[in-house]
A and B are shown apart, each in its own frame.
Chain A
């Protein structure tokens, strides 16, 4: 399963080690702890805000998912707070870059 081809379809998947069960992020073919092969599964679409800032009228933030994956995305509603629960509504690729659209819950 190719991470980017799934992301292009709007599916956010993560790699998990078949041996030590570690979530490997950024996505990789091999575990960065034991070099075993990984398997792929859908990531939780829930996370929490680690930090945030704002450009023009748009907030952006670092979100942590499953205590293992941190990504930066844009916030579609309201003012985020550190520790706040959020949901990933949309993800995909714009050109070479990944994008994540996040809403506060």
Chain B
């Protein structure tokens, strides 16, 4: 398959700002253009918008506001992994030859309708994400004898990482006690265990191998893609203590990239809630089942930024349609050795894990220098 690379990117600060969705899309697109000196509007064959926002025709609107007249323009929605779905679509357009250069822009507002999946009536009155997260947490704690105090390390670590991410919503660090004493949402979930819905945008430019080199001296290649959707309904999950779709997506991505999990130097994983980080690490194969918190404890103690260097979703904020793109930008920056205080040493191969709706669907990307 022809190589497809990341040629440029732009990102906004994640916040609680009350901005129009069109404005959020435009801001990160403008930053992308500011970062890409040889990019002409006429080069862009496709404009893909990733969002859960209900506004119509956003790709055509962003194109008009940016002075682009693309061949292909449409939106992509897949709840929380819309961003990586848009990247995979862009990859496919380029690999197939239908497009040579694709602009992907993800954006969300703090009040996104993507937080609730109305269709999933098997959840009864318990449609808010805190309820699936509580069920996951309860199941994980029981099966692996993990405590709330153990899991509290995830937000402690990720808020700490986020202090070196200028675009993160988090502005302070928290102690284990802060997490444990934060507002109790359910018996199994506290406020600081949760990523926060927010307003934010992230844009990325993908291009074919030769064209990529026109825009950057340090392209990052997408060498592995794995996706799996096991269901739409939360209660259809066959287990609540691991992520089946993530496990299957990772197998596909590693097979395509001809790498395995031991080769991964840095990763952004989808820590929508505290419990998601150890579960994701286990389902991706970084560690054995039930050992995710041991790995996180080791990383935290040794100040190793390998997992969620930008602060993950908990530290950075979670503007749904922008999240997968922001994760991918972080790994690209890591591989380009331009992540400043967040930089992981000798980062050559990275991984992005982005999932939606209680892990019913997952995307795993492998990126390389």
A52, B122: Cα distance in complex, Å:
14
When distances are taken between beta carbons in the complex, the residues of chain B under 8 Å from A25 are: 122
B126 within 8 A of A: yes
When distances are taken between beta carbons in the complex, the residues of chain A under 8 Å from B228 are: none
Q: When the two chains form their complex, are residues B135 and A51 in contact, meaning their CB atoms are under 8 A apart? A: yes
When distances are taken between beta carbons in the complex, the residues of chain B under 8 Å from A72 are: 122-126, 131, 235
Q: Which residues of B173-232 are within 8 A (CB) of A?
A: 185-189
Q: Which residues of B78-134 are within 8 A (CB) of A?
A: 118, 120-127, 131, 134
When distances are taken between beta carbons in the complex, the residues of chain B under 8 Å from A26 are: 120-122, 233
Q: When the two chains form their complex, are residues A70 and B135 in contact, meaning their CB atoms are under 8 A apart? A: no
Contact digits for B12-52, partner A, Cβ 8 Å, 1 yes 0 no:
00000000000000000000000000000000000000000
- List residues of chain A with CB under 8 Å of any chain B CB: 25-26, 50-55, 60, 62, 69-74, 82, 94, 96-100
When distances are taken between beta carbons in the complex, the residues of chain A under 8 Å from B135 are: 51-53, 62
**Which of A54, A55, A96 has most B Cβ within 10 Å?**
A55
A71/B124 contact (C-beta < 8 A), A53-B138, A96-B118 known: yes
A72, B130: Cα distance in complex, Å:
13
Residue in chain A with minimal CB distance to B130: A55
Task: Choose from A52, A55, A73 the contact partner of B124 (Cβ within 8 Å).
Answer: A73
Other 17 A-B pairs with CB < 8 A, given A50-B235, A54-B187, A97-B127 = A26-B120, A26-B121, A52-B135, A52-B138, A53-B138, A55-B134, A55-B185, A55-B186, A55-B187, A70-B235, A71-B122, A72-B131, A74-B125, A82-B142, A97-B124, A98-B121, A100-B124
16 contacts between A and B (CB under 8 A): A26-B233, A51-B139, A51-B240, A52-B138, A53-B135, A53-B188, A54-B186, A71-B122, A72-B122, A72-B123, A72-B125, A72-B126, A74-B125, A98-B121, A98-B125, A99-B124
Interface size on B, residues (CB 8 A): 25
B258 within 8 A of A: no
A14, B189: Cα distance in complex, Å:
33
A51/B138 contact (C-beta < 8 A), A70-B236, A97-B127 known: yes
- Whole-angstrom distance between the Cβ of A80 and the nearest chain B Cβ: 11
When distances are taken between beta carbons in the complex, the residues of chain A under 8 Å from B240 are: 50-51
A26, B123: Cα distance in complex, Å:
11
Q: When the two chains form their complex, are residues A53 and B134 in contact, meaning their CB atoms are under 8 A apart? A: yes
When distances are taken between beta carbons in the complex, the residues of chain A under 8 Å from B185 are: 55
Task: Choose from A54, A62, A94, A97 the contact partner of B235 (Cβ within 8 Å).
Answer: A62
A10, B134: Cα distance in complex, Å:
28
When distances are taken between beta carbons in the complex, the residues of chain A under 8 Å from B142 are: 82
Residue in chain B with minimal CB distance to A82: B142
When distances are taken between beta carbons in the complex, the residues of chain A under 8 Å from B139 are: 51
A105, B150: Cα distance in complex, Å:
34
- Whole-angstrom distance between the Cβ of B360 and the nearest chain A Cβ: 13
- Whole-angstrom distance between the Cβ of A69 and the nearest chain B Cβ: 8
- Whole-angstrom distance between the Cβ of B284 and the nearest chain A Cβ: 23
- Whole-angstrom distance between the Cβ of A96 and the nearest chain B Cβ: 7
**Which of B118, B124, B126, B233 has most A Cβ within 10 Å?**
B124
A6, B187: Cα distance in complex, Å:
33
Q: When the two chains form their complex, are residues B122 and A94 in contact, meaning their CB atoms are under 8 A apart? A: no
A97/B125 contact (C-beta < 8 A), A53-B138, A62-B235 known: yes
Q: Which residues of B119-161 are within 8 A (CB) of A?
A: 120-127, 131, 134-135, 137-139, 142
